[in-house]
């Protein structure tokens, strides 16, 4: 396994040492530095080391894996390091964290969300300003079924083409005069954090495009049996982001039968509002891959339970579960089943299934090893 370690804080004589795991992409490193800087500020005598690595998602160029959202591509090898105590915490884009974490791993903290919207980026030198301006047949670079499905719904005359690679790579491919792309769509959050906000031509949001579950938030994963690290990272949590993220992740958990589907969301924490109490406003959609069918729901729901307990985590998850149930009542199940079937008959499905089996096998070994060390 190729990892690199960089110690930038001088060890304090009495301080503890914590190791932070991350992917090695530029965005992942920027987000890890945000977490480390916040930890250093709160724990000036502790030392934080960063261990970075390439995950399967960084290495594997099989587009189908990504468009199908094969599980744990970005997280599994890092979770192995966590369970083996090679690192004490992992910094992820929350969007890339599966809704089911391996046994022994939990979310320790969710930091304040950057702008969660998607962003439209025109090719360098383009005079077009919005999706509406693009002539029929223009090519949008995206490998995301969520983005593709929602775009096709409103812009059936536009064409989608896969665009793989990290943010810098995708921008380079877009600007290559030889490339087919008129534009690409990326998360605004990544661009903003990388100082590339100048590249954003337009922000996309409902009704055109609902963002991904967890988009724009940073998640910190820790061992479930590590009260010390749990206490360390807890103060980094931004409560409104945390509650919205829990609702979104529960919605996804309830809808997906293990496969990744075009689910879009927009969630807003409305805060303490006198008699109305703490509420969350959620919009959610699920679309067929070609954009011809979709189910959308929207509501404002209370987070205060009957006992008067404020801001309960359980209630946040209930919101997601309830919204998912409403979507299923309105026929989301038919869309989800069709996606599952197309996944099974896709020529690349065998390759995806093979990779998923590999991931599951690796996960099983990891858990077995973990259980053995606990006995
Ligand atoms: N692996 C894709 C990924 N995961 C997180 C981000 C951006 C940051 C975020 O959404 O939190 C991206 C790139 C993108 O969608 O543009």
Please tell me if the CB atom of residue 21 comes closer than 6 angstroms to any atom of ligand 1. Answer: no
Separation between Cα atoms, residue 283 and residue 266, nearest integer Å: 5
Band (11; pLDDT cuts 50, 70, 90):
very low
Which residue, among 86, 108, 84, 6, has the nearest Cα to 49 in the 3D structure? 6
322-341 mean pLDDT: 93
Smallest CA-to-CA distance from 107 within 243, 16, 279 is with: 243
Q: How far apart are CA 206 and CA 118, in angstroms?
A: 10
Ligand 1 pocket check: which of 148, 187, 216, 241 to mutate, most ligand atoms within 8 Å of Cβ? 187
Supply the pLDDT for residue 228.
97
SS3 string of 78-118?
Answer: HHHHHHCCCCCEEEEEHHHCCCCCCCCEEEEEECCCCCCCE
| Ligand 1 nearest-atom number relative to CA 215 | 10
Q: How far is ligand 1, taken at its centre, from the CA of residue 196, in Å? A: 14
Q: What's the pLDDT score for residue 257?
A: 58
Pocket test for ligand 1, best of 54, 74, 93, 214 (most atoms within 8 A of CB): 93
Record the pTM: 0.90
Between 271 and 111, residue with greater pLDDT: 111
pLDDT grade, residue 12 (50/70/90)? very low
Read off the pLDDT of residues 105-116 as tens digits, 9 standing for 90 and up.
Answer: 999 999 999 999
The CA 45 to ligand 1 mean position distance, Å, reads 33
> Which ipTM was obtained for this model?
0.95
- From the list 160, 321, 346, 198, the residue with the least C-alpha distance to 253 is 321
For residue 14, what pLDDT is reported? 59
Q: In the predicted model, what is the mean pLDDT of residues 281-307?
A: 92
Banded pLDDT at 196 (limits 50, 70, 90): very high
Radius of gyration of the chain (CA): 21
Indicate which residues carry an active-site annotation: 96
Rounded to an integer, the average pLDDT of 183-211 is 98
Residue pLDDT, tens place only, 48-72: 999 998 887 777 665 555 555 556 7
Ligand 1 pocket, residue 96 CB under 6 Å: yes
**Span of 10-14, 79-83, 121-125, 369-373 with lowest mean pLDDT:** 10-14
Lowest-confidence segment of 7-11, 227-231, 293-297 by average pLDDT: 7-11
Ligand 1 atom with minimal separation from the 94 CA: 11
Predicted local confidence at residue 341, as pLDDT = 83
Burial 287-316 (b: 16+ CB within 10 A, else e): bbbebebbbbbeeebebbeeeeeebeeebb
% of the chain with per-residue pLDDT over 90: 67
Q: What's the average model confidence in pLDDT over 202-217?
A: 97
The arrangement of strands across the sheet holding 278-287 comes to 263-272, 278-287, 294-302
Once rounded to an integer, what is the mean pLDDT over residues 346-372?
73
Does the C-beta of 356 come closer than 6 Å to ligand 1?
Answer: no
State the average pLDDT for the chain. 88
Give the tens place of pLDDT for each residue, 154-175.
999 999 999 888 899 999 999 9
């Amino acid at each position: 396994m190729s990892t690199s370690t960089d110690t930038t804080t001088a060890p304090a004589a009495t301080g503890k040492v914590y190791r932070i795991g991350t992917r090695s992409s530029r965005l992942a490193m920027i987000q890890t530095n945000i977490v480390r800087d916040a930890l250093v500020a709160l724990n000036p005598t502790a030392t934080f080391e960063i261990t970075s690595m390439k995950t399967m998602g960084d290495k594997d160029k099989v587009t189908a894996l990504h468009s199908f959202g094969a599980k744990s591509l970005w997280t599994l090898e890092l979770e192995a390091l966590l369970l083996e105590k090679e690192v004490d915490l992992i910094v992820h884009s929350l969007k890339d964290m599966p809704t089911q974490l391996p046994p022994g791993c939990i979310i320790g903290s969710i930091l304040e969300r950057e702008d969660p919207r998607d962003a439209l980026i025109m090719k360098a030198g383009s005079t077009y300003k919005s999706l509406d301006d693009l002539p029929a047949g223009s090519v949008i670079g995206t490998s995301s079924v969520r983005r593709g499905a929602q775009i096709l719904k409103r812009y059936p005359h536009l064409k989608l083409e896969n665009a793989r690679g990290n943010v810098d790579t995708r921008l380079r491919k877009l600007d290559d005069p030889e490339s087919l792309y008129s534009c690409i769509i990326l998360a605004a959050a990544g661009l903003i954090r990388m100082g590339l906000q100048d590249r954003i031509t337009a922000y996309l949001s409902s009704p055109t495009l609902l963002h991904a579950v967890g988009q724009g938030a940073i998640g910190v994963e820790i061992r479930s049996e590590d009260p010390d690290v749990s206490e360390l990272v807890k103060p980094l949590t931004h409560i409104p982001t945390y509650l919205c993220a829990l609702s979104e992740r529960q919605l996804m958990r309830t809808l997906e039968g293990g496969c990744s589907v075009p689910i879009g969301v927009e969630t807003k924490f409305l805060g303490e509002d006198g008699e109305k109490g703490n509420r969350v406003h959620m919009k959610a959609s699920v679309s067929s891959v070609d954009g011809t069918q979709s189910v959308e729901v929207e509501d404002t729901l209370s987070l205060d339970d009957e006992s008067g307990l404020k801001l309960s985590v359980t209630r946040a998850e209930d919101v997601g579960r309830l919204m998912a149930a409403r979507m299923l009542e309105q026929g989301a199940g038919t869309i989800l089943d069709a996606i599952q079937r197309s996944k099974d008959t896709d020529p690349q499905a065998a390759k995806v299934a093979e990779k998923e089996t590999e991931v599951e096998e690796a996960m099983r070994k990891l858990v077995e090893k973990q259980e053995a060390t606990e006995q």
